[in-house]
Amino acid sequence: MSFPPEFSSTTTYANRYDLDEIDVFVEGNSNNPMFFSIGGLSRVFTFGKHYFTISMLTTENELYQLNSGSRVLFEFKSINNVVLRSDVVEINQRNGLITCFFEILRDPLRTYKEVQDGQGTFIIAASLQNKQTTPADKRIPEKFINAINYRCVYPISIGKNSIGGDSLFITNTTHTTSTLTGQFSFSNNSIPSTGNDPNNGAEYDPSSGVKTTIQKNFDRDTL
C-alpha cells in the first residue's frame, strides 16, 4: 500500500534530521550510559502514540559535559527508513524528567512507504563541550566545537499488529501545526539531572507542546 505525500496545512509532519548520517566526535553505546537515561522503549510498539521519557545523567565521571544552551535532537526511524513523528510533551522542572512521544501511523505522510515491522531506531544527538579536566589529547577538535558532536542509537521493536504489543494511545485527532521538532535545549541549573552535576539541566517552552495524561511506571533504559 502506498500513500500520496500531499502537503496539508492542517497536518503535523515529522521533522527529518537523518541523525544517523551526521558526522560526530563521540558515538555513544546504548548499553553504556553517558549523558541520558531513556525510559519506556523496551517493548514491541504497535500502531498508535507511545510515550517515553528522557532524563539527564551526571557527567562527573565523563570526559565531556553537555554544552550549555545547545539543542538536543532525537529521531525515530523504522527499519525501512521511515521517520516516525515525535516530539516533547512537557518537562518537569522539579525532577528534570522530559516526557516525549512518538507515533506509528498507518499513513506515515510525506512518503509512499509504509512503516515496516522490525528493528527500528531511536537516535538522540547533542552538543558536548570539554571540561576543565579533559586531557589535552582527548579534547574536542575545533571542527566539532559548538556542533552536534554526540550521538547514541538505540534499537526499538516495531510490530504494528502484534498481539500483546504495546499501544498506549491511539489517536484520531486533527493536528494544527506544520512540523514537530523532536528537540529541546539545555541551560545551566534550569532543572536538575538525575545526579548532582550542576552543569546539567534543560529548558523547553511547553506552550508549543501537547498537554496530556502521562503514562506512569516507564521501564528504564539508558544511553
Give me the domains of the chain, ranges plus CATH numbers. Answer: 13-203 (2.60.40.10)
Identify whether the C-beta of residue 194 lies closer than 8 Å to the C-beta of residue 58: yes
pLDDT value of position 34 = 93
pLDDT value of position 12 = 46
Among 60, 6, 24, 10, residue whose Cα is nearest residue 149: 24
pLDDT value of position 20 = 94
Cα separation, 136 vs 69, whole angstroms: 24
Cα separation, 82 vs 120, whole angstroms: 9
- For the whole prediction, is pTM greater than 0.85? no
pLDDT value of position 53 = 95
pLDDT tens string, the chain, 223 residues long: the values are: 333 344 343 344 457 889 999 999 999 999 987 999 999 999 999 999 999 999 999 999 999 999 988 889 999 999 999 999 999 999 888 888 999 999 998 876 666 788 999 999 999 999 999 999 999 999 999 999 999 999 999 999 999 987 655 544 333 333 333 334 567 664 433 333 333 333 333 333 333 333 233 333 444 444 4
CA 44 centroid distance within chain:
17
The overall longest dimension of the chain from CA atoms, in Å, is 55
Cα separation, 46 vs 222, whole angstroms: 22
For the chain, what is the radius of gyration of the CA atoms? 18
pLDDT value of position 41 = 94
pLDDT value of position 78 = 96
Residue 188 corresponds to which cell in the numbers above?
Answer: 545551566
pLDDT value of position 105 = 87
